[in-house]
Copies of this chain bind each other. A is one copy, B any other.
Amino acid sequence: MARTYKEAGVDVKKAERFVSFIRKVTDLENGFGGVVELPKGYKQPLFVSSADGVGTKLMLAFLSGNHRTVGIDMVAMNVNDILCRGARPWFFLDYIACGRLDVKIMKDVMKGIVDGCNEAGCRLIGGETAEMPDFYRPGEYDLSGFCVGVVEKANLLPRKKAIKKGDVVLGLASSGLHSNGFSFVRKVLSSRELKKRAKELLTPTQIYVRPVLSLLEKVRVKQIAHITGGGFYLKAPKGLPQGLGLNIDSKSWPVPDIFIELSRRSGASKREMFSTFNMGIGMTLIVSRRDVDKALSYLSEGSCYVIGEVVEGKGVRIA
């Protein structure tokens, strides 16, 4: 029988100390709700929001004891979505739920979130760390986040009416699996392999904010897609006008070994692989053919490929 909340598994004082640590590494205020002012320089600002988590990639962190980068993944999953509307990430809030507050683990998780927010240029202004005994196993946690970005109305993506047959699809290299398909990976690789290869598998999701925002200032990008759950088939054609689809040439970029291995060992079809994984391309952008060279010149070599084009039809065909 619990006589105190602490005995019942919830240590409010420890939680307060953890919040003090968070305050040191963030913009967090001591109050109800984070408060921000409208960013300057916008005539007709639109606000773009995203909520997302990391999925079962977290289980690789549990397995390996490396909790330092899943926070980056969590931020990446959100800010890359915001970027698809042409928006600049503005502020961020996190939600961490755990069984018992393990301060060492949670500090590592928070450091990853802070790293991700720094990389994306957005402020971490609040969040919630929930201690939920009996709900999460010791040392385990779930992680989600929420990002708000801003975009000038005239720059909102996709520019649906501007997308024409013959436009070109550019692909930005992924850093690996990113944060999708891990339930598949966990079925294909053995526990021993997962543990042994955790470092490689935990490579954090690429954050595309800096290069892409910089590109948007110089080149008229018409559509951006973040290749996540559902892969190319579901994400790449988002925002295309009716009657247009995409042809993607899968030989136009080097598919990283991990995807080839997963395909070989699982026996999954090409379609299944491209529906589940990013296959080496984390983000796609549509530009006019005449803007391709300019766009490529602004994006680092080896990280950007011409991977396909806009065609008459519907959906995505991958050759």
Contacts and interface: CB of A to CB of B under 8 A. Distances in A.
Contacts of A230: 12, 16
A184 interface: yes
A293 to B, nearest CB: 27
A85 B130 CA distance: 22
16 contacts: A3-B272, A9-B187, A16-B234, A31-B239, A32-B82, A32-B238, A33-B84, A33-B149, A35-B156, A38-B38, A38-B47, A49-B126, A53-B95, A58-B135, A97-B144, A134-B186
Interface stretch (A86-94, A197-205, A206-214, A296-304): A86-94
Contacts of A144: 95, 97, 128, 130, 144
How many of these chains are in the complex? 2
Interface of A: 1-5, 7-10, 12, 15-16, 30-38, 44-53, 55-56, 58-59, 81-82, 84-85, 87, 91, 93-95, 97, 125-128, 130-135, 142, 144, 146, 148-149, 153, 156, 158, 181, 183-184, 186-188, 224-226, 229-230, 234, 238-239, 266-269, 272, 275-276
A224 B32 CA distance: 9
B33 A37 contact: no
A6 to B, nearest CB: 9
Contact of A52 (B85, B128, B183): B128
A50 B35 contact: no
Contact of A266 (B1, B37, B47): B1
Contacts of A276: 5
Given A30-B238, A32-B82, A49-B125, 17 more contacts: A1-B267, A2-B184, A3-B267, A5-B181, A5-B272, A9-B183, A15-B229, A16-B234, A32-B81, A32-B85, A32-B226, A32-B238, A33-B81, A49-B146, A50-B93, A128-B144, A148-B148
Given A36-B46, A59-B135, A148-B49, A12 B275 contact: yes
Nearest to A133: B183
B51 A268 contact: no
A62 to B, nearest CB: 10
A156 to B, nearest CB: 7
Contacts of A148: 47, 49, 148
A127 B51 CA distance: 5
B149 A3 contact: no
B275 A55 contact: no
Closest 10 CB pairs of A and B: A146-B146, A32-B84, A2-B187, A51-B93, A33-B48, A95-B144, A8-B184, A5-B276, A8-B187, A32-B81
A187 B33 contact: no
Contact of A35 (B30, B48, B142, B269): B48
Contacts of A128: 51-53, 144
B32 A50 contact: yes
A225 B31 CA distance: 9
Nearest to A125: B49
